[in-house]
Amino acid sequence: MAAMRFQGVGDSAIHTTQLQVTASLTGAGRPVTETVARVLAATAAAVDGDPRCANWDWREEELAIARMCYDLINKEMRNGRDLSHCLPDHLYDTWRAVLDKDAHPTVARNAAGWHVRGYTNTNNGNGATAPPQQKAGSRIALQRFERFEEKTLPRREWVLAGHYMLGTLTGTVAPGGAGKSNLSLVESISIALGRDLIYGQQIKRYRTWYHNAEDALVEIKRRVAAICKHYQIDMRELEGWLFLTSGLDMPIKIATGNGELKIEKETIRQIVEVIEGDEIEVATFDPLIAMHTTGESDNVKMRQVCDEFARVANVTKCGIEVVHHVRKKQPGQEEHTTADSRGASAVIDAVRSARVLNQMSKTEAGNMEIDDLDRLNYVRLDRGKANMSRIGLICWLKFETVRLDNGDEEAGEPGDDVGVMTRWDPPDLRIVLSDADRKHFQTVIAANPEWRADNRADKWVGHLIAHRFGLDADSPPDRRRIMATWRQLVQEGTLAVEERLDDKRRARDFVVPGRRK
């Protein structure tokens, strides 16, 4: 637009540029009012001071530019693409009302101004006859399969951890206090740096927006400071790459209404505008419940809420992550899955990849020799839904305490303590076995076939392992090491289990020498 210049009567350069720019902006989801204002201002600048344009009717010029936008919206609707989110509010409401009646909306103009008309497929007295191009119904069109080369397929645009992906909606669920916000912020900083702080992968650098709806901006900054201190990051590396907002300062609601759901089009427009204007490539909204005021258990409404996020991701090609809570555990339930996400199941159905955080259980803590009071600092991250990758354990995480340098030493006031999420590798409880150890077990077992696999038996094989390594089979820590070593011996094939009858004709699992794999 900056290069536009009027070349005299008959010149079409300005008109052609206007067509191209309005199509580009409207097609990218920018509001019609904004597009018209930008193109009109650029046109005025292009002819400023040119006496040949002194008598131009700028009202007509504005209407002509608006017509370009609306013509494109009408055309795209006939081709099955709905750009109604670009419309002004009064036109958008009518457009949606027409669609709700299974009619075909189109923007037109009369003496009263711009308005939306609805076409039905037949002239039944309730509407005009549909235009010929709409009779066939252009919303559904089949694509005939044709052979293609595998190497021509574009690669999925993964960002981090086989979870974040450009242009895609993803989600993480966890109970309160499990560290989902802390993890999201560490991951956002990783993405902004192009340096994976948790998973050790090689990643690209992306401009990242983290919005926390529940914490003040100063608290978010405390966490950023702690993360940078722990991981030895120079904060200047994040300048221009990381963007932070707080819902306490800037509430964002994309949908409202417990009765009739209202999608907040202006809010969504501004989200799209910010993402495109600041060239944001990954955005995290934490938590989802704070992004709307509709019924969290209503599947229909929550699907609409998530679909709006998915549309923003698709239009902007930005990877969008939503953080969500889980419901309380049922009696006897030891851990959460993504199916336990709070409220409507539509949330997990809508995302392409979902993860769940669980605090370490008492059983897990016991198996890893971790004090019960300390176990809540350990969190297991599982991939609970993966439309595009494998399901299963991703890794263990641990909260590390970082003290900030914001205290007053002279006054005896220490700096703030802030938890930082880090990668944690569980200890390997297995004993390091030598070839001599393996040969010993096979020789003893072959000489005495009465050793049993059942740890309740008098001749439990665990006693043999304990004797070999000087362990106490009655001590819980030693017993866990014995069990881990026994599993290792079976898995590698040094020992095996064989079912046979004991001296009382009862079926029992006996230990026999195995064949090494």
DSSP labels, 238-252: GTTTEEEEETTTS--
Distance CA 42, CA 273 (A): 19
Which has more confidence, 154 or 165?
A: 165
169-174 and 353-359 as β-strands: parallel, antiparallel, unpaired?
parallel
Please check the confidence at residue 266 and state whether its pLDDT lies above 70.
Answer: yes
Query: Domain range spanning residue 503?
Result: 435-513
Q: What is the mean pLDDT of residues 290-309?
A: 93
Confidence of residue 363 (pLDDT cuts 50, 70, 90): confident
State whether 125 and 163 are in the same domain: no
Mean pLDDT of 344-369: 88
Give the span between the Cα atoms of 261 and 161, in whole angstroms.
34
End-to-end CA distance of the chain: 71
> What pLDDT does 122 receive?
45
**Amino acid identity, position 426:** P
User: Which residues lie below 8 Å from residue 295, measured CB to CB, with a gap of 6+?
Assistant: 258, 301, 302, 343
Query: What is the DSSP secondary-structure string of 368-402?
Result: TT--TTTGGGEEEEEEEEESSS--EEEEEEEEEEE
Residue 419 lies in a domain: yes
Please check whether residues 304 and 341 belong to one and the same domain: yes
Among the candidates 424, 450, 480, a domain finishes at 424
**Identity of the highest mean pLDDT range in 47-51, 59-63, 126-130:** 59-63
pLDDT of residue 177: 86
Torsion of CA 429, 434, 440, 445, to 10 degrees: 50
Mean pLDDT (whole number) for 361-375: 84
- Assess contact for 401 and 372: CB atoms under 8 A: no
CATH code for the domain of 234: 3.40.50.300
Domain termination residue (choose one: 424, 458, 474)? 424
Residue 287 lies in a domain: yes
Instruction: Please report the pLDDT score of residue 136 as a whole number.
Output: 36
Which pLDDT band, with edges at 50, 70 and 90, does 128 fall under?
Answer: very low
In a domain, 144, yes or no: no
Query: How many Cβ atoms are within 10 Å of 406's Cβ, its own excluded?
Result: 11
Among 277, 282, 271, 323, which Cα is nearest to 190's?
Answer: 282
Query: Residues 430-435: what's their mean pLDDT?
Result: 86
Could you give the 3-state DSSP secondary structure of residue 173? strand
Indicate the average pLDDT of the chain. Answer: 88
Kindly state the tokens that stand for 462.
């665990």
Does one domain contain both 123 and 200?
no
Q: E strand or H helix at 104, and its extent? A: strand 104-110
pLDDT band at 430 (very low <50, low <70, confident <90, very high): confident
Q: Assess contact for 65 and 39: CB atoms under 8 A.
A: yes
Q: Which residues, in sequence order, are bridge partners of residue 379?
A: 359, 397
How confident is the model over 90-110, as a mean pLDDT?
89
Does residue 391 fall inside a structural domain?
A: yes
Whether 464 and 441 share a structural domain: yes
Indicate whether 390 pLDDT > 60.
no
Q: Based on the domain organization, do 344 and 440 belong to the same domain?
A: no
Of 132, 128, 15, 125, nearest in space to 67 by CA: 15
**Shared-domain flag, residues 253 and 395:** yes
Domain membership of residue 108 (yes or no) is: yes
Distance CA 106, CA 102 (A): 13
418 and 471 assigned to the same domain: no
Burial-class residue 490 by CB neighbours within 10 Å (0-12, 13-18, 19+): middle
Split at pLDDT 50, 70, 90, the class of 447 is: very high
Inform me whether the pLDDT recorded for 469 exceeds 90: yes
Q: Where are the alpha helices (DSSP H) in 199-296?
A: 217-230, 265-277
Residue 433, C-beta contacts closer than 8 angstroms, at least 6 positions apart: 485, 488, 489, 494
Both 246 and 367 in a single domain?
yes
Partner residues linked to 400 by β-bridges: 420
Give the rounded percent of residues in the chain with a pLDDT score beyond 90: 56
Local confidence band at 138 (pLDDT 50, 70, 90 cut-offs):
very low
Q: Name the residue with higher pLDDT: 429 or 391.
A: 429
Q: What is the pTM of this model?
A: 0.63
pLDDT recorded at residue 129: 42
| Domain assignment of residue 4, yes or no | no
pLDDT at 319 over 90: yes
More confident residue, 392 or 223: 223
**Confidence (pLDDT) at 120:** 67
Q: Taking the mean position of all CA atoms in its chain, how far away is CA 371?
A: 33
**Diameter of the chain measured on Cα atoms:** 115
Residues 167, 41 share a domain: no
Bond prior to 175 in cis (omega within 30° of 0): no
The pLDDT of residue 387 is 54
Q: Which residue has the higher pLDDT, 258 or 197?
A: 197
Element containing residue 307 per DSSP (H, E): helix 299-316
Average pLDDT over residues 137-142: 56
The mean pLDDT value for 409-425 works out to: 92
Q: What's the mean pLDDT in 329-342?
A: 85
Residue 124's pLDDT band (boundaries 50, 70, 90)?
very low
Count the Cβ atoms, other than its own, within 10 Å of residue 403.
13
Weakest mean pLDDT among 62-71, 183-192, 203-212, 500-509: 500-509
Residue 329 domain-assigned (yes or no): yes
Mean pLDDT within 329-334:
82
- Identify whether 63 is part of a domain: yes
pLDDT above 90 (res 443)? yes
- Domain check: are 305 and 454 in the same one? no
Among 124-128, 185-189, 215-219, 480-484, the least confident range = 124-128
250/383 same-domain check: yes
Mean pLDDT of 141-146: 79
Give the model's pLDDT for residue 338: 87
Q: Please tell me whether residues 278 and 419 are part of one structural domain.
A: yes
pLDDT for residue 503: 84
Domain boundary among 365, 394, 424: 424
Overall number of domains in the chain: 3
Which residues lie below 8 Å from residue 138, measured CB to CB, with a gap of 6+?
78, 79, 80
